[in-house]
Chain A
Amino acid sequence: GENVEQHPSTLSVQEGDSAVIKCTYSDSASNYFPWYKQELGKRPQLIIDIRSNVGEKKDQRIAVTLNKTAKHFSLHITETQPEDSAVYFCAASIASGGSNYKLTFGKGTLLTVNP
Chain B
Amino acid sequence: GAVVSQHPSRVICKSGTSVKIECRSLDFQATTMFWYRQFPKQSLMLMATSNEGSKATYEQGVEKDKFLINHASLTLSTLTVTSAHPEDSSFYICSAPQGGGENIQYFGAGTRLSVL
Interface check B79, CB cutoff 8 A: no
Taken together as a complex, chains A and B put the C-alpha atoms of A65 and B21 apart, in Å, by 37
Interface check B32, CB cutoff 8 A: yes
* Cβ distance B80 to chain A, nearest Cβ, rounded Å: 21
The interface residues of chain B lying within 8 Å CB-to-CB of A34 are 103-105
**Contact indicator B31/A99 (Cβ below 8 Å):** yes
Taken together as a complex, chains A and B put the C-alpha atoms of A99 and B41 apart, in Å, by 30
**Contact indicator A99/B42 (Cβ below 8 Å):** no
Contact A105 to B49, CB < 8 A, known contacts A32-B103, A97-B101: no
**Contact indicator A43/B108 (Cβ below 8 Å):** yes
**Contact indicator A103/B34 (Cβ below 8 Å):** yes
Which residue of the partner chain A has the closest CB to B46?
A: A102
Which residue of the partner chain B has the closest CB to A108?
A: B43
**Contact indicator A89/B44 (Cβ below 8 Å):** yes
Taken together as a complex, chains A and B put the C-alpha atoms of A41 and B51 apart, in Å, by 27
Interface on chain B toward A: helix, strand, loop, or mixed SS?
strand
CB contacts under 8 Å to B, within A23-63, are 32, 34, 36, 41-46, 49
Against A, the Cβ 8 Å flags (1 = close, 0 = not) of B65-105 are 00000000000000000000000000101010101011111
**Contact indicator B110/A43 (Cβ below 8 Å):** yes
The interface residues of chain B lying within 8 Å CB-to-CB of A104 are 46
Against B, the Cβ 8 Å flags (1 = close, 0 = not) of A81-115 are 00000000100010101010111111110100000
The interface residues of chain A lying within 8 Å CB-to-CB of B105 are 34, 46, 101, 103
The interface residues of chain A lying within 8 Å CB-to-CB of B108 are 43
Task: A44-B44, A107-B43 are known; give 9 further A-B pairs, CB within 8 A.
Answer: A43-B108, A89-B43, A93-B103, A99-B97, A99-B99, A101-B34, A102-B46, A105-B44, A108-B42
B-side residues, CB < 8 A to A, are 1, 31-32, 34, 41-44, 46, 49, 51, 91, 93, 95, 97, 99, 101-110, 112
A-side residues, CB < 8 A to B, are 32, 34, 36, 41-46, 49, 89, 93, 95, 97, 99, 101-108, 110
